[in-house]
Chain A
Amino acid sequence: MSRTRTPVVTGWFAGEGDDFRLLGTRCSVCASVFFPREDAACRNPGCSGGELIEVSLSRRGRVWSYTDSRYRPPSPYVSDRELKWQPYALIAVELAAERLVVLGQTVPGVTVADLAVGMEVEVVPGVLNEDAETTWTTWHWRPTGVTA
């Protein structure tokens, strides 16, 4: 039986391949962008509050900072305790057009040794974990020019 591909959170990203994008919302009055999406009300305290419209975020950004996880994180992070722990890297990425920073895991195989602050990265679809029925999908950051 094949697993169903399901986003780990609903409405934060969409698309496949080159069309994959993070999704946020934009206030129709003040143009503030929110990620994760804000659907209730604009959080700019000086804004009268407008309609929040779904927008795709920039595909590429630059590394604001990065780190990794040398020890297995606790639940609700899901990992196979039967397997030896493999650290993954995390990057905080500055998106120039939206003027915000988004955290995310790197594509598998990219380590902190491959990264530098200011380096360009792009968002790509990724797999967070799999269970019996479901492949939980997420976003990953990948240095541009590097193929996963």
Chain B
Amino acid sequence: MTGEVAVLGAGMHPWGKWGRSFVEYGTAAAREALSDAGLDWRQVGSIVGADTVRGGYPGYVAGATFAKALGWQGARVASVYAACASGAQAVDTARAQILSGLADVVLVVGADAAPKGFFRPAGGDRHDDPDWLRFRVLGATNPTYFGLYARRRMAVHGDTLEDFAQVKVKNAAMGALNPNARYRKRVTAEEVAASAVVADPLRLLDICATSDGGAALVLSSMEFARRHGAADPVRIRAVSTVTPRYPTTVLDLPDIATDSALAVEPAAETFRASIARAAYEEAGVGPRDLSLAEVYDLSTALELQWYEDLGLCGEGGAAKLLAEGATAPGGRIPVNMSGGLSSFGEAVPAQAIAQVCELTRQLRGTAGARQVAGARVGVTANQGLFGHGSAVIAVR
């Protein structure tokens, strides 16, 4: 297919609370990705960074920061910000450059040093920022929204706290096998139930932490990959970056209210479902073709929501799919074999790239104890604050 790009290299800096600069994490991940690709940094024609916050003007700098750290070599540079979707937009930007012939080889990097505890908006008295307003007026943290979704699922679909806990049990077991994960310990349902409530009905072990971390990919044209001796590389076949459609009827971060559905009948599918559908359409695959999925489990309940939005089961069927073991290792469609955000925590600009790193390893068959047997097609899914869709489909 002409729309494909090759993944020549993948690299990560382990997640954790390391207390160092995001530049260090991203550079380490980039060096590992270059080494994995068997390429010298000077062969890279373009670098795309997923942005993070850094003090001082202009505050959001990523591409050039990593280019400087790796050694200025005159490459084309871009930086993208799309909240949690930043990594996917960075992949998309790299892909567009490769497919349009602007660059043969592109390095994609995302890294962050996250604050401890709740994410919070930048300072100042900023009444024009919905993110600032939700904190000032309502004290609505990110877990507030996860709690609302979880409680809604319990009321509408009959999900239980035990269902949510089983997501954590599954993901923690996978995280225990992943050397790049921050949390590498198995967890029991009893431990989830015994952890403190953060935002009713969700507990500490239902919600992902904030973390430091970095991830990088080396992407190239299929033609370059062949010349480079990679005859059968992992390929990226789709990147979905869609926005919602008016009116959005699910209360999403950071909104205080939904759109009104008075004038326009809402679409049958939710925003999250449209993110997945756009990726499936672009890749020419469907949920039944998937070997595995990496989804943004900001909370255990949200992972269940993704099962439905990805079409792995019908609406309301997620808890049953989980209980049947379909999303566990050896199941029909294993989800979050990396351990997920549950095991990694959030390092915002890196995470969507880290998801593609996991797909790359799985599709190469080099995921070790986490390996999904015979993996051929994988999807990643997440959603960036302020209406950024994000899904990547990779194939082998």
Contact = CB atoms under 8 A, between A and B. Distances in A.
B132 interface: yes
A33 B246 CA distance: 12
Interface in A44-82: 44-47, 64-71, 73-79
B260 A112 contact: no
Contacts of A78: 136
B232 to A, nearest CB: 43
Contacts of B246: 43-45
Nearest to B125: A76
A44 to B, nearest CB: 6
B137 A128 contact: yes
A30 interface: yes
B118 A73 contact: yes
A88 B140 CA distance: 10
B136 A67 contact: no
A31 B144 contact: no
B157 to A, nearest CB: 11
Contacts of A44: 246-247, 263-264
Contact of A99 (B140, B141, B197, B262): B262
A135 interface: no
B96 interface: no
A99 B295 CA distance: 30
Contacts of B121: 76
Given A73-B118, A117-B155, A112 B262 contact: no
Contacts of B263: 27, 30-32, 44, 47
Contact of B200 (A27, A30, A68, A116): A68
A32 B264 contact: yes
B152 A101 contact: no
Contacts of B136: 8, 76-78
Given A46-B264, A66-B151, A68-B199, A100 B257 contact: yes
A64 B251 contact: yes
Nearest to A33: B260
A101 B138 contact: no
A132 to B, nearest CB: 17
A42 B98 CA distance: 38
Contacts, number: 146
Given A103-B256, A117-B151, A69 B262 contact: no
A70 B200 contact: yes
A63 to B, nearest CB: 9
A12 to B, nearest CB: 8
A99 B147 contact: no
Contact of B152 (A30, A65, A74): A65
Quick one: which of B123, B155, B198, B262 has the most chain A CB within 10 A?
Answer: B262
B133 A9 contact: yes
* Interface of B (DSSP majority class): loop
A108 interface: no
Interface residues of A, number: 49
B135 interface: yes
B270 interface: no
Interface string A82-125: 00000011101000001111111100000010001110000000
B229 interface: no
Contacts of A76: 121, 123, 125, 132, 135-136
B141 A69 contact: yes
A102 B155 contact: no
B117 interface: yes
B144 A67 contact: yes
Contact of A66 (B127, B139, B148, B259): B148
B258 interface: yes
B249 interface: yes
B135 A112 contact: no
Contacts of B258: 100-101
A48 B167 CA distance: 46
A74 B120 contact: yes
B196 interface: yes
A30 B120 CA distance: 36
Quick one: which of B120, B123, B155, B258 has the most chain A CB within 10 A?
Answer: B258
A36 B257 contact: yes
B271 interface: no
> Lowest 8 CB-CB distances: which A-B pairs, in order?
A67-B147, A117-B155, A73-B139, A74-B120, A77-B139, A65-B152, A99-B261, A76-B136
8 contacts: A32-B259, A32-B264, A44-B264, A67-B200, A77-B138, A99-B262, A103-B255, A138-B137
Given A31-B263, A76-B132, 14 more contacts: A31-B262, A35-B260, A47-B263, A65-B151, A68-B199, A70-B199, A73-B140, A74-B120, A76-B135, A78-B136, A99-B261, A103-B140, A116-B155, A138-B137
Interface of A: 8-10, 27, 30-36, 43-47, 64-71, 73-79, 88-90, 92, 98-105, 112, 116-118, 128, 138
